[in-house]
Structures are given as structure tokens and as C-alpha cells.
A and B are shown apart, each in its own frame.
Chain A
Amino acid sequence: MRFAVRLAAAATLGGGLAAGCADFTALEDPAFGLPDVEVEQPSFTSDVEPILVKRCALGGCHTPGASQGGLALAPSAAYDELVGVPAVTSGGPFQRVEPGNSANSWLVRRIQADPAPRNGLPRMPLAATPLTPNQIATIVNWIDQGALRN
């Protein structure tokens, strides 16, 4: 019995030192709680603005307080900050959102994986999980359909 107790104590100590570890993998939801589907005919209010607010209007980024690159994407202000507004950080003749032309919209260029259209600038959201392909496609569809305030 005494031997068994000592053995248990030694196993506890040895096992603890050997097995001391974290018991989790920090898997992040790539859609950040938003629906991960491509919306064919998106509404700005229901489908696009929630993506921008949830993924871009974060502390230190595109909130009214931080307004990085002069862009604040708070609810109710996001549309006016984007559509038809010159993209000052693009170094080119781009608008943040050019209605009917997603390929020339700086917003789309900055969130896509290909670095060439964004002139090698970091992909947005900066140092964060990228938007899902479905979320990007939803934004592209909204712009190509005229970037309506709907």
C-alpha cells in the first residue's frame, strides 16, 4: 500500500511535469459570427454594412475615434464614407467605392488576396483574419449592382 501511494505521488509529479500543456487550439470563426454565404442581390444595410462594422470598425482601426486612413465605418455613417469618396491612400485615381465598378473600387482591392491591385499595401483587415470569399463576393455584387443605399 505504501509503495502504491509513493508510486502515485511520483506519477503525479512526473506526469505533471511531462504533460504540462495548454489544452486548446485557438480556432477563430473565419466568418466572425456573420453568415458565410454569397448574397447575389445584397442590401447595403442587411448584408454589407454588418461585414464592414464587424470586421473594420474595431478599436484602433476604422472607428470614429481612430479613423485610420481618414475612414470611419461606424453604423449609419459607413455608406457616406465609402461611395463616391476618393481613396486618399491609394496613390491613384480610385474611389473607395465606385458604383458599378468593383474592379476599380479601392475597398475591394484592399480586401483581396492578390497584392498587385493594392500596390503591395497590406491586406485589410490589417493583421487580422481576411474576409471570407463569400463576404468579399457579397461586397463585389453590391458594388457591381450600383452600390445602392438600400
Chain B
Amino acid sequence: MRARGLIATLLALVIAAPPLAAQERAVERRSFSDGQGKLMAFYSAVLTFTPVEAPRERRRGELAVGLELGYVPQLNAEQRRVGDKPESTNLAPVFPRPRVSYALTDRLAIEGSWIPPVAFFDVKANVVSLAVSWTAPVRGALRLSPRLAGALGSVEGAITCFDDLATRSPDLAEYWGLICYARESEDDFQPRHLLVELMAAWERPAARVTPYAGLGARGDWTEFDIGVIRGDGSRDPDQPILALRTVRPYGVLGATWRAAPRARATAELLYAPGSLVTIRLQGVVDAIRR
């Protein structure tokens, strides 16, 4: 009984206490209306965990695996500028996302994805996404699918301080020397968002292509940890953590092509107003089919 009380106390302390690093760092709130807030919302939108497949009814116990490729639009100099300083955000033009889905019932399915921490171009991501959806026929070929999804993780790269700054202009060279300690930063973008969406598909048994569309809202609790590294290798505690809290709408339009009895390919257009328009592609194979 005593041990149980101790464990409960320890758990309460762990849950209540923020991480040590967070205690020492200032947290600056950003809104969608400022430049840095828009940059953060842009990269959060890139990782939006939409289905990238037409909603469909399944058989209980079905398991499908897929690989999604998402295009990351490259930002121009003006969009990457904070003050007079560019941010090095065009680090990867595409991101791959392995996905798996499992039918809990004929209508209820869960989806998951994990981008493992493997360096890809100049970034290292470690992002987990989960979703649960319920799909049912409404009328004729029309299927509706409400879906709840979320993403959580970390994307690391040298965004604030990068060695190119040393050669661009005297001001930036001074910034590189004084503020960046002449070292590349280890910035950490931490997407944390929750999606609520409604998808609709027009699925006819004889047709090999199923078009679909959907609307959703993304609630962001995303942070950007400015990771300036001091001469001794430690993180500069003087640099703040930027926090974006916003709710943004988005829409998708896509089509799934049944390439073989157990394989499908999907192209999906994602539009997040004020952030981006982009395309995602996914190939899916039914690993277990009932």
C-alpha cells in the first residue's frame, strides 16, 4: 500500500513537472498572423496525416501496408526570411511515410505511421501519426467517413544557423559569429496536431478508380526549439522555444486506383489555406485480406 502511494506520488511529479530544459527556456507564443507562425504552420501542414486513400468498407481483421510520398513545396527567399535573415528551411523536397491500417470491424479502422529517425536529405525526423476512422455507405455509391487523427514528433535540422551565413553579407557573417557561435544549430521542430475530418468517396464496385474529397480542421500545439549550440557544445539557454497554437482548416481531393486485387495507388491533393497546396502519393498492399 505504501509502495503504491510512493509510485503514485512519483508519477504525479513526473506528469506535473515540465522537462528541465523547458524550465530554463523562455517560451514565445506565435500566432498564425506573424512570419514565424506561418512558417511553423506550413511545416505542420506538410505533416497532416490525411488518409491518402479513398475511404472504403473493409472486412474485420484486414491489414494493409503502404508507403506515402509527400511533396514539400520549396519556399522562396521572402517566405523563409525572418527579419533580414534567411532561415534554411528547404531541407528536403519530399518526405516518405510508411503506413499501416487495420480493420477493427467492417467499418471501424485504425491507421498508424512512423517516420523513423533516419537522416534524409538534411533532416532527421521522428514522427508518429495515428488515426481512427469509421466508414459507412450513405446512399448508392456514396461513402462517408468521419476520421480523427494526430501527429506527434520531432524534425531536426540546421535551420537558424547554417554555415552559408558566414559568406552572404557582413551583417549575416557577424550574426553567424556572435549569435551562432560559428556553429550550425540543432533546431528541433516539434509537430503536435490533432485532426478532425470528414471524407466522402464515390465507390462503385465495377469502377477501378474511386474519387474522394474531404474537409477537416487541424488543431496545432506545435513548437520550434531554437537550438543554437554554444562553443562548449551545450544548447544556448538564451534562445527561446517558439510555440504555435492555432486551428486551421484544410481540404483534400484525391483518387484511388485499384491496380490489382490486393494493391491500390492513390494521388491526393492537399490544400491548407494560408499554408500550402501539395500532392501526396501512396501505394498500398493488402497484407491480410478476409
Contact = CB atoms under 8 A, between A and B. Distances in A.
B275 A23 contact: yes
Interface of A: 2, 5-6, 8-9, 12-13, 15-17, 19-29, 59-61, 63, 65-66, 68, 122-123, 125-129
Given A13-B279, A26-B35, A68-B178, A122 B211 contact: no
Given A13-B279, A19-B277, A20-B71, A127 B236 contact: no
Contacts of A129: 83-84
Contacts of A28: 34-35, 82-83
A122 B79 contact: no
A66 B26 CA distance: 14
Contact of A25 (B79, B236, B253): B79
A66 B238 contact: yes
B73 A16 contact: no
Interface string B238-269: 11100000000000011101000000000111
A12 B83 contact: no
A9 B83 CA distance: 41
Say whether chain B's binding surface is mostly helix, strand, loop, or mixed. mixed
A20 B268 CA distance: 12
B163 interface: no
A20 B38 CA distance: 17
Contact of A122 (B35, B174, B279): B174
Contact of B239 (A13, A27, A59, A127): A59
13 contacts: A2-B209, A12-B253, A15-B269, A22-B276, A23-B273, A24-B38, A26-B35, A61-B179, A65-B237, A122-B171, A126-B178, A127-B172, A129-B83
Contact of B73 (A22, A29, A61, A68): A22
Contacts of B278: 16, 20-21
A56 to B, nearest CB: 12
A28 B82 CA distance: 8
